[in-house]
Amino acid sequence: MSVASLDVESVRRDFPILSHCMRGQPLVYLDSASSAQKPRAVLDAMDELYTQGYANVHRGLYELAEWATSHYEGVRDKVARFIGAADPREIVFVRNVTEGINLVAHSFVRERLGSGDEILISAMEHHANIVPWQILCEQAGAQLRVAPIDDRGEILVEEFEKLLSPRTRLVALAHVSNVLGTVNPIRELIALAREREIPILIDGAQGVPHLPVDVQELGCDFYGFTGHKLFGPTGVGVIWGRLPLLDAMPPYQSGGDMIESVRFEKTTFAPPPHKFEAGTPNIAGVIGLGAAIDYVNGLGIRNIAAWEHGLLEYATEALESIGKLRIYGKAKNKAAVLSFALDGVHPHDIGTVLDQEGVAIRAGHHCAQPLMERFGVSAMARASLSIYNTRDDVDRLVRALHKTLELFG
């Protein structure tokens, strides 16, 4: 399927919510960086599980349980192929990237972190890739180091390299900034860390929905993403890790389904990935994630990326034509995310006015308060584009922004 032949109107029909109105007008949904809408294929797959094939997984020997387990584990294989993992056992199902990062923090990093050690992140990280490391550093007497970014929203690679030291125990970076849209040069940054034998984790929450990902080719040690930003359901995500690392890591949580044997005297644990998946999992969520991956593969991730890039160029030019509007994040390589401000108008007021016009955007600190501080603001408005958006959506956004300026003078 080529981009030129991509039938976006057909794609839009795949998403039932886009046929609804908001405030009496057709919905323009521009908040996919927060959570993407769901195609019918995902909704149908989850409905089929609950109405025709539901049972708990990894437990029963009856037909329903075997069917559910087979399909659940089939998604693990599908995820492995989708991100280029060497082995499905490297795919750990979690609730979201946040849980995946915490798993790595407590099961991998904690025992390697001591007084005077360091963890290196960047100035554009989501709170999910800041707070777990802060807590860990405080407990261990370690230091959280922050690689700076320039005014375009790009990591200063030379400064990043200078911060890598013999005391660095982990590097944790976003693949794509949820605020600025910056696509970080992670291959280069990973290579710099690996030269020094420093483990590196990539937060791919904003990367996987927009870009082809091959974790083996990237060379990182851990990579996480979440289902709901990839047109899948909430409550399910993935943390990928190299199998030798996962094999050596202790469990993060304990309980049913992560054991090999339990005695009052001693418990032995299942091998990865199951030793990290305690309790009954989000079965329908995993099935929905598998359907979302099928949907993305059907469209082609490169086609999605190309469509979104074209929209980004169109939207950037359109927003730059609006007086008193400033765009934050002008990296040379960026995803379809536009964060901006209007002089004299609070971002929350922008969001409220746009809502009255049927245009849904995000307004706030976007779970990135240190980044807001870097740019000297408390909040930004953000429009994030996806495969179901069109130039007409962008035009609606622009008209609503002009109305906002009229209202606030």
* Residue keyed to tokens 């795949």: 14
- How far is Cα 239 from Cα 141, in angstroms, rounded to an integer? 27
- How far is Cα 198 from Cα 186, in angstroms, rounded to an integer? 14
User: By 3-state DSSP, what share of the chain in percent is helix, strand and coil, each rounded to 5?
Assistant: 45, 20, 35
- How far is Cα 128 from Cα 150, in angstroms, rounded to an integer? 22
| Structure tokens given for 385 | 């584009």
| Structure tokens given for 141 | 């007497």
- How far is Cα 113 from Cα 172, in angstroms, rounded to an integer? 14
- How far is Cα 344 from Cα 8, in angstroms, rounded to an integer? 36
Instruction: Identify the active-site residue in 21, 137, 220, 367.
Output: 367
- Is 220 assigned a catalytic role? no
| Best CA proximity match to 401, nearest among 321, 296, 307 | 321
- How far is Cα 211 from Cα 185, in angstroms, rounded to an integer? 13
DSSP code of residue 80: H
3-state secondary structure of 189: helix
- How far is Cα 350 from Cα 404, in angstroms, rounded to an integer? 6
Pairing state between β 143-147 and 118-122: parallel
Ranges of H-type helices in 62-185: 63-83, 97-104, 131-140, 157-163
| Structure tokens given for 46 | 């989850």
- How far is Cα 119 from Cα 134, in angstroms, rounded to an integer? 9
- Contact at 8 Å (CB) between 207 and 187? no
**Spatial CB neighbours of 220, under 8 Å, sequence gap ≥ 6:** 186, 190, 200, 201, 202
Please name the helix (run of DSSP H) or strand (run of DSSP E) that holds residue 216, with its range, or none: helix 215-218
Please name the helix (run of DSSP H) or strand (run of DSSP E) that holds residue 328, with its range, or none: strand 325-328
Q: What are the catalytic residues?
A: 367
